[in-house]
Amino acid sequence: MGRAKQKKPKAEPGVQLNDTQKNINRIRKRMNRLDMEQEKVKMFTKYKLWTYMWVFLFPPYGMYRVWKKNSTFTYSERMVQTITCVTYTVVLINIFLTK
């Protein structure tokens, strides 16, 4: 026979939390906030469309736009754009060297 899951008691407004409980609450809030921020990723903003274009027309400037501090790209998007740019540049160099 399985044990029934016990519900965790919620802290009442007048109850003081210890440091571990405060830390757990802080971590939960941060994780929930990060989840909400990740859901808000917009792929086709005007800035990102121009950056996608620059990655192929002039890769160094495209990488500058991807990696500058006030860029709207997330870390994972930056990594994907960097890999795309490096691959594209290597292919272009290979094409020009083999002809």
Confirm whether 3 is domain-assigned.
Answer: no
Q: In whole numbers, what is the pLDDT of the chain averaged over residues?
A: 83
The answer to whether position 64 is within a domain reads yes
- Res 71: pLDDT: 87
Tell me the mean pLDDT in the region 21-49.
Answer: 78
In a domain, 31, yes or no: no
Residue 37 located in a structural domain: no
Classify burial at 66, counting beta carbons within 10 Å of its beta carbon; exposed 0-12, middle 13-18, buried 19 or more: buried
The pLDDT of residue 81 is above 80:
yes
Q: What tokens appear for 56 in the block?
A: 């192929």
DSSP 8-state class, residue 45: -
pTM over 0.85: no
Domain enclosing residue 85, as ranges: 46-98
Residue 67 lies in a domain: yes
In a domain, 62, yes or no: yes
Count structural domains, the chain.
1
